Amino acid sequence: MKGVLINAAILASVAVAAQADGLDPLVGAIGETKVLADARLRFESVDQEPLAKKASAVTLRARLGFETGKAWSTSLLVEGDGIWPLVTKYNSTTNGKTAYPVVADPEAYEFNRLQLTNTSIVDTTITLGRQRIVLDDHRFVGNVGWRQNEQTYDGLRVVNKHIPNVTIDVSYVNQINRIFGPEGLPGANDGRFTGDTFLGNVSWQLPLGKLTGFGYLVEFEQAPVPIRDTTQTYGLRFQGERPLAKIKLGYIASWATQSDRGDNPLDFSNHYYLAELTGTFRQYSAGAGYEVLQGDGVKGFSTPLATLHKFQGWADKFLTTPVNGIEDKYINLGYLKKGFGPLETLQFSLSWHDYDSARLSINYGQELDLQLQGKYHRFTGTLKYADYDAAATTPAAVRDTSKLWAQLDFTW
């Protein structure tokens, strides 16, 4: 409370001084400051062969910050977060409890975002500092928002929308702040990845959907493992939806090519493919997709900046693409009900995956994912389950795994 009062006094003093100097924009920016706050309480259980112990994790994540109004077309955003482990029968990747399965939510306290945003150039937003970057569907660049400590980026981002229906989004990043927190993994510098990374994404909204071209030049200076993900990736993506009788048909197609870059000691060239169709009728939806990440027997197509939990099953068995690549054939079923009793929305989803290698036709097994989610005002409750059944030919590092989550989110 003492700290809050001191900060309030400082802000009041700055406002008075600014007004005395005729700095009305600064006074206005301070007066328009809004609070940023959210909290998440999560229980996660993991049963993974061949580990004898079952992981049980209860963690609390809280974020608190503020965003000012604009002074001279510039605003300031400051946000800190803390992750508190309440039940610690799990391997957080930093606590040394390797007898348990991994739940990648280590204890951490840090600045989550610290950025200046300027809009003085027409139709252009420039953001400098530690920030959240999410491109398209998170497949190549995302914030890994599922984990308690999200992934953020230190750099400069420029988004321009001056040309009608066209968005140009380019970023330079020199540090990636990963989900493992500032402490990182024991014996490695995996809490932070440094290097010159360039992200380019240009989209054009057409009558049938949005066409996007992208180029991601990723550099990791850390050795020996991260540097092997120093890559250059170029691709195209098309996404849209059209009415078909009483059904809304959604479609996605994407292709990318990836090769080594800079000081990467490997020499490779792999491709990525995605095709997905989804039909929605009233509150029901059904879809199917086919996604391929190639591998040449030494290196698989890598997406180290992606929100990986969104793809290839919630059990997170293929966060690193196998060296022989992976083919994921999947179906999705969904139900969304608005105004269900006291709930604003109630949503159920089911996904089923069948995994094979993209090279040598090796079966990797199947996975079933289920989720029930309800929203009530500022609260969102989630029950979630994943069950991965490994095939006999699955790589030795991947084993039968089941996971269960119970989660409550609050957003201010």
Average of per-residue pLDDT across 392-409? 92
Say if residue 135 is exposed, middle or buried (CB neighbours under 10 Å; 0-12, 13-18, 19+): buried
pLDDT digits over 158-201, tens only?
999 999 999 999 999 999 999 998 876 655 557 899 999 999 99
CA within 13 Å, CB half, 138: 15
User: pLDDT tens-digit profile of 284-338?
Assistant: 999 999 999 999 999 999 999 999 999 999 999 999 999 999 999 999 999 999 9
pLDDT level of residue 22 (50, 70, 90 thresholds): low
Is 400 a residue whose pLDDT tops 90?
A: yes
Look up residue 260 and give its two tokens.
Answer: 């080594």
Q: Is the pLDDT of residue 3 over 80?
A: no
Tell me the one-letter amino acid at 395: P
Query: What mean pLDDT comes out for the span 105-111?
Result: 94
Domain locations in the chain as residue ranges: 1-31, 34-411
274 CB contacts (<8 Å, ≥6 apart)? Answer: 139, 252, 253, 254, 255, 289, 290, 291, 292
How many helices and strands (H and E) does the chain possess?
A: 2, 18
* pLDDT of residue 2 exceeding 70: no
Q: Angle formed by the axes of helices 24-31 and 2-20, to 10°?
A: 150
* pLDDT score for 182: 80
Q: Domain 34-411, what fold?
A: Porin (2.40.160)
- Judged by average pLDDT, the poorest of 190-199, 234-243, 342-351, 361-370 is 190-199
361: left (phi over 0), alpha (psi -120 to 50) or beta: left
pLDDT at 137 over 80: yes
Q: Which pLDDT score, from 0 to 100, does residue 396 have?
A: 79
* Euclidean distance between CA atoms 297 and 292, whole angstroms: 15
Q: In 206-245, which positions are buried (b, 16+ CB within 10 angstroms) versus exposed (e)?
A: eeebeebebebbbbbebeeebbbbbbbbebebbbbeeeee
Residue 12 reports pLDDT greater than 50: no
Give the confidence band of 392 by pLDDT, cuts at 50, 70, 90: confident
**Which residues sit opposite 287 in a β-bridge?**
278, 332
Cβ(148)–Cβ(61) under 8 Å?
yes
Confidence check: pLDDT of 11 > 50: no
Could you tell me which residues come within 8 angstroms of residue 245 by beta carbon, excluding any fewer than 6 positions away? none
**pTM of the predicted protein model:** 0.91
Phi-psi region of 221 (alpha: psi -120 to 50; beta: other; left: phi over 0): alpha
Ranges of beta strands (E only) in 161-312 are 166-177, 192-206, 209-218, 231-244, 247-260, 269-281, 284-293
Residue 112, pLDDT above cutoff 60: yes
